[in-house]
Structure 1
Amino acid sequence: MDFHPHGNEPMEEQKIQKTELKKACANCGAELKYKPGTTSITCEYCGHEESIAIDDKGFQELELHPYLQEMGSQKHSEEISMLHCKNCGADQHVEENYKSLHCVYCGQPLVIEDAYKENWILPGAVLPFQIDKKKSFLIFKNWVKSLWFAPNNLKKAALDPQFTKGLYLPYWTFDAQLYASYTGQRGEYYYETKRVRNSQGKMVTQRVRKTRWYPAAGEVSGFVDDTLIKASHQKTGRIPAKISSWNLKKLQPFDSGFLSGFVTEKYTIPLKDGHLQSKEEARDIATTWCRRDIGGDTQRVLSMDMKLSDETFKHILLPVFVSAYRYNGKEYNFFINGENGSISGSRPYSFWKILFAVLAGLILIGVIVLLANK
């Protein structure tokens, strides 16, 4: 084992991983945290700010196939500390000094002493939070006010912002040159007029649409850019599709400064599985291109031979706020997109409001029927 020349500790134990560097404020020594919507890290105590250096080279697209082999998968990787929630099973990495720490999903305390080390493929890009926790909680409060059939006192319920956590979700993106040859059929509509008997027994003229089919074959090719594949099925399966849309043009080259003060979920879907899913997405894209190439009014793709080349990928991190609130002893979850502020969540309903609405509707129907019979 190699030893550092200035001490007795192994060199491996003295190595500080880039993703776990915690920068201290030059003025007061407190930890600097990322300020959403900026390229700065800031001190919550004295207001000191420092800029995050953005890599002028842009994103690093990694060649896919070396990573699908065992040796290649170790390149561009680092060791990070992970905490496992014994209550809900989520694994999470926190880019800050551990204080009072709770699971981002279920709110249960995490045992700091249980932290363990694990390798991950370094993110190639991150979409930094564009809104802060205060704004996310305001979005949540306005959402509560807008709920139909919600209990009146829900708006007055004690909703604690401290349980709202910013979370970076892991995704894979895949790029490739796509080529496909196909055989199919082009359909062209035409119309015929015929006499039919309607529901009243009368003979009427009806225009009927029919299709003439012609053989078609050809080739399509193009660049498939940033096919987005979810990289975790452990807890992110709970993230609603309604908020799972981000503007990837806002991606920044990865810098650990963007993670400061937030929780990061490690990918649990292997790169190999993500790649298989991306190939299915590419096949759907190729089919769309084939249909467009066939033309006509409608199309059939009977066979298709697809090939992908120059495949690259990135591990990227995308922002959401995750939280839960309790009402009448029951827990409800909500999620806010950390880039555009869209919200989705579960909520309680007022039995009495729904009952009175149903009764009012029945009374209204009864009045309409009564007036119609006069």
Structure 2
Amino acid sequence: MNLRCQSCGAELVVEAELRTTVCPYCAAPSVVERPPSVDSPAPTFALGFSLTHQAAGERVRAWARSRHPWTHSGLKRAPLEIIRGVYVPAWLYSARAESEYTASIGEDYKETETYTTTENGKTVTKTRTVTKTEWRSLAGAHAEYVPDVLVTASRGLPNVELAAIEPFDLRALARYAPALVAGWVSEEPSLSREACLTLAREEAQALVARRLAAFMPGDSHRELRFRTRLEAESLDVCLVPVWVLAVRYAPQAPPLRVVVNGQTGVVHGKPPVSWVKVALTVLAVLALGVGAYFFLGGRS
């Protein structure tokens, strides 16, 4: 898509997956307002960045230093090659959940029982207090509102990665305005609305399952079964702030991608494993085991 810079008049080409650009001649930021569609509507809300570029780098360095002992040693001293702040499109979903459920509810009670044991070669009778559970069937209905389920609308940031850096502080949501994202990389939705709606419903159902389990009375429960209807569904596009970094931990390996919540600083990445460290650890454990065997065998 072509766009005329409002500052110097240069004709710019904006990639289809982006909604922002910066003029290479005068550095003026521009925002593309494309016609909305079913799968790519105009954003309704946006969350601003609270974490600076420098702070994001510091969070990633601290994260790298705290990884498990089998992480590739190059990660701790790796340079951060690229740090970009991206407004990632996500769908914000809410619904009313109506559930019907059945379960077995356990009520604990204590009972004193008599038992025999052997002490000093003699059989003696003793008593002890044991906990037993009485099970009863329960059926009922449960209704609740499921707000603020966030799922990715970007092919570039899978939902599992977005979920790993949640939650975002949605109290800071603002109505979208082009000025909020000017000068930043801002991505257009690249996943279909239906695919995202399916993801959101799955997350909402999982949330209802956890809440129903917590709602059950008694001391314990089992065989919880339920059927949930999601009604009065709401789905809006929201732009969320994410720092995306490339970490070069080894010359021969591709950079490791790390993402950081642009509000809270939560970091997510898949630390590379050093198989040399793993092998050395296994050999050390085997050596200790063999040494202990011969030591104990020699004393017997």
TM category, shorter: 0.5 to 0.7
8 Å Cα contact 1:131-1:339 kept in structure 2: yes
Letter in 2 for 1:219: A
User: Which of 269, 274, 297 is the matching residue for 1:345?
Assistant: 269
In structure 1, the partner of 2:22 is: 97
1:179 correspondence with 2:102: no
Q: CA deviation at 1:335?
A: 1.7
Letter in 1 for 2:156: K
Q: Matches of residues 166-245 of structure 1 in structure 2 within 5 Å?
A: 166-190=85-109, 193=113, 209-232=131-154, 234-237=155-158, 239=161, 241-245=163-167
Cα distance, 1:355–1:229 mapped onto 2, change above 3 Å: closer
1:133 correspondence with 2:53: yes
Cα distance, 1:195–1:140 mapped onto 2, change above 3 Å: same
Give the total of aligned pairs: 274
Q: Could you tell me how far apart the structure 2 residues matched to 1:151 and 1:219 are? A: 51
User: Which of 257, 260, 265 is the matching residue for 1:336?
Assistant: 260
Highest RCO, 1 vs 2 (Cα 8 Å, sep ≥ 6): 2
Q: Could you tell me how far apart the structure 2 residues matched to 1:280 and 1:185 are? A: 25
1:306 correspondence with 2:194: no
Q: Could you tell me how far apart the structure 2 residues matched to 1:321 and 1:370 are? A: 54
In structure 2, the partner of 1:50 is: none
Partner-residue secondary structure (3-state), 1:224: strand
State the Cα deviation string for residues 83-132 of structure 1 (Å, max 9, x = none): 36xxxxxxx315122549xxxxxxxxxxxxxx9x7742111111111122
1:121 correspondence with 2:41: yes
TM-score (norm 1): 0.56
Q: Could you tell me how far apart the structure 1 residues matched to 2:74 and 2:225 are? A: 59
Q: Provide structure 2 residue ranges, at least 5 long, that are not aligned to the other structure.
A: 26-31
Q: Could you tell me how far apart the structure 1 residues matched to 2:102 and 2:76 are? A: 60
Q: Could you tell me how far apart the structure 1 residues matched to 2:20 and 2:236 are? A: 21
State the Cα deviation string for residues 57-81 of structure 1 (Å, max 9, x = none): xxxxxxxxxxxxxxxxxxxxxxxx8
Q: Could you tell me how far apart the structure 1 residues matched to 2:224 and 2:4 are? A: 53
User: Which of 174, 186, 190 is the matching residue for 1:264?
Assistant: 186
1:83 correspondence with 2:7: no
Partner-residue secondary structure (3-state), 1:121: coil
Q: Could you tell me how far apart the structure 1 residues matched to 2:53 and 2:190 are? A: 26
Q: CA deviation at 1:154?
A: 6.1
Between structures 1 and 2, the one with greater strand share? 2
Cα distance, 1:313–1:345 mapped onto 2, change above 3 Å: closer
Q: CA deviation at 1:343?
A: 1.9
Partner-residue secondary structure (3-state), 2:145: strand
Q: Could you tell me how far apart the structure 2 residues matched to 1:209 and 1:301 are? A: 22
Q: Could you tell me how far apart the structure 2 residues matched to 1:196 and 1:266 are? A: 74
8 Å Cα contact 2:20-2:183 kept in structure 1: yes
Q: Could you tell me how far apart the structure 2 residues matched to 1:134 and 1:344 are? A: 17
Letter in 1 for 2:92: T
Cα distance, 1:307–1:261 mapped onto 2, change above 3 Å: closer
Letter in 1 for 2:175: P
RMSD between aligned residues: 4.5
8 Å Cα contact 1:136-1:321 kept in structure 2: yes
8 Å Cα contact 2:14-2:20 kept in structure 1: no
Letter in 2 for 1:235: G
Cα distance, 1:317–1:206 mapped onto 2, change above 3 Å: farther
Cα distance, 1:23–1:206 mapped onto 2, change above 3 Å: farther
State the Cα deviation string for residues 189-224 of structure 1 (Å, max 9, x = none): 3456475999xxx99988765432323333332322
Cα distance, 1:324–1:194 mapped onto 2, change above 3 Å: farther
Q: Could you tell me how far apart the structure 2 residues matched to 1:220 and 1:231 are? A: 30
Q: CA deviation at 1:252?
A: 1.7
1:316 correspondence with 2:238: yes
8 Å Cα contact 1:173-1:226 kept in structure 2: yes
Q: Provide structure 1 residue ranges, at least 5 long, that are not aligned to the other structure.
A: 1-12, 30-80, 85-91, 101-114
Partner-residue secondary structure (3-state), 1:330: coil
Partner-residue secondary structure (3-state), 1:306: strand
8 Å Cα contact 1:190-1:211 kept in structure 2: yes
Q: Could you tell me how far apart the structure 2 residues matched to 1:150 and 1:168 are? A: 30
Q: Could you tell me how far apart the structure 2 residues matched to 1:350 and 1:219 are? A: 51
